[in-house]
Amino acid sequence: MVFLATLLALPLLSYASVYPRHDDHPHTDSNPLPSTWYHDSNHPVHALFRRGDNSDGSNYAAVGSQEWSNGFPPPWPTNGIDTNSIPSKWVDALNDAISRKAVPDIPVPTMGKDGNPAYPNGGDPNSPEICSATYQCRIDGDVWDGPAGTVALSFDDGPEAGTNQLLSFLASKNQKSTHFLIGSNILYNADSLKKMFDQGDDLAVHTWTHQYTTTLSNLQVVAELGFTMQLIHNSTGGRIPKFWRPPYGDTDKRVSAIAKEVFGLTTVIWNQNTADYTLTETPPYTTPEKIQSDMKKWMTGPKSPGLVILEHELTKECVDAFTAAYPLMEENNWNVVSLASLLGGNVTYQNAASNTSPVSLNDLVNAKNGPQPNANGVAANPSGSTVGAGASQSQKPSGPSSAGSPPVSAPSNTPSGTSSASGPLATTISSWPSILLAVAVTMLWT
C-alpha cells in the first residue's frame, strides 16, 4: 500500500516543484508587501479555495483586528510615512512611468505665505507644464464636473465622527454615495468602514495623512496613495479603488500622473464647495444658513454641467448641512448618484463592478492593465490602455516630451517582508499540489 501511494504521488511531487512552498527558499525581497503575494488567477488553487463571488478568493484578516492593521504605517505619523516601507513593486512602477516620461519633471513646491503651494523660481502654477488644480487649472483626464442633470454625491475625510449619522440618513433614503477615505482614519474607525461597505456605498482614496500632495516627493505621493488603496483592498475582499480626491483639491500634472500611471487612479476635484468643514471653527468661515442658501442656488440653477459638490462627514454639523439640503436635490429633479458609480459607468472599482459583484484577483499596480469589469460585474478583455474610466488615451496627463523625473531607488533597509496574515497582505495558499498529495495518501491508507 505504501509503495502504491508513493507511485501515485510522484506526478504530484514533480508538478509541485513548479510552485515551491513558501518556506523552502530564502526571502530576498525585504519589503513588507511582497511583490507577488498571490497565485495567477487561472491557477487551480482558486477553484479549490475561492470563498465566493464577493471576494477575490484570498483569506483576508478580519477588519479591525490586529492582523488587519499590522504592516501598515501608523495612523497620522508625525513625520509622514516612512518611504523605506514602500513595496519595491510600487517603486518599480513609478520608475517605469518616469522612464516613459509619463510623469513630468515638475519641481516640488513648498507652502507659501498665503497658504497655497508656491513653485520654485517663480514657477507659474497655471502654466501648461504645471497646471495646478489649487489655482483652478484643469488637467485633461481629471474630473471636475458631472454629467448634465446629475449630482455626483460624495463625502470626504471619513470614516469620522459624522459617518454613522450620515450612513443612517443615506440608508433611510436608499441613497448610495462615494466616500473618499483617509487611511489613518480607517485604522481608527474600522466598524464605520465595514458599515459603509456592507451598506453598498462606494469607497475611494483620500490619501493616508491628508497633506497638500503637490508638496510631496514622488515616493511620498506613492506611499500616501498606495497604502490607503491597500487598506481598502484588504478590507473589501480585494477590491481596488478606481478614484481618488487630493486633499484640498491640490494636484498638478506630476501628482495626477503618478496616481494614474502607477495605480490606475482617476483624479476627482469638484465644481462647488460648501466649506462645511469650517462649521466648527472659531469663527466659522460659513454657516448652516449660508450652505442652505448656496445649495438652493445650485439646485435651482443650470443643469449643465452636473454638480460635483465638496462635502464632508467630519462632524454632526457637516452631516446636518447635507441632510437639510438633500430635499432640494429631489425637489429640483436632480439625479443623485454615487460619484464613483456615476463616473465609472456603474463600475466602481478597477477589478469589480460593485460591493457585491465578482472580484478579479490582482494587485494595485497591475489592475489598470488587467481585465476590466463591466456594469454586469463580468470582466471584459483589457483594452491595452493604462488610462482608467472617464479618460481617453489622449487625455492622459503628461508633461513636456523632453522632461522626465529622475528615477528613485527601491529602499534597501526595509523590514523583512511576509505574505502571512500578520502583514497587510493576507495569507494565500502557496502550494496546492502538496495538499492534493496529502489527500491522496490519506485516501489510500483508509
φ, ψ at 6 (rounded to 5°)? -65, -45
Instruction: Respond yes or no: is residue 312 known to be catalytic.
Output: yes
Which residues contact residue 397 at a Cβ distance below 8 angstroms, ignoring those fewer than 6 apart? 104, 139, 140, 141, 142, 253, 256, 257, 260
The burial of 288, by beta-carbon neighbours within 10 Å (0-12 exposed, 13-18 middle, 19 or more buried), is given as middle
Pick from 179, 189, 184, 153: which is nearest to 274 by CA? 153
The CA–CA distances, whole Å, from 245 to 156, 259, 344, 422 equal: 8, 10, 15, 30
Are 153 and 338 contacting, i.e. CB atoms less than 8 angstroms apart? Answer: yes
Instruction: Respond yes or no: is residue 294 known to be catalytic.
Output: no
Pick from 323, 342, 380: which is nearest to 243 by CA? 342
Question: Active site residue: 56, 142, 156, 202, which one?
Answer: 156
Question: Active site residue: 202, 206, 312, 363, which one?
Answer: 312
The CA–CA distances, whole Å, from 35 to 32, 314, 365 equal: 9, 35, 10
Are 82 and 72 contacting, i.e. CB atoms less than 8 angstroms apart? Answer: no
β-partners of residue 179 are 155, 203
Pick from 262, 236, 267, 268: which is nearest to 367 by CA? 262
Q: Taken in order 373, 370, 205, 112, is the CA torsion positive or negative?
A: negative
The full length of the chain comes to 446
In which residue are the cell numbers 495646478 written? 132
Sheet holding 243-244, edge to edge: 266-267, 243-244, 202-205, 178-181, 150-158, 335-338
CA angle, corner 69, sides to 68 and 74, nearest 5?
A: 170
Active site positions, annotated: 156, 312
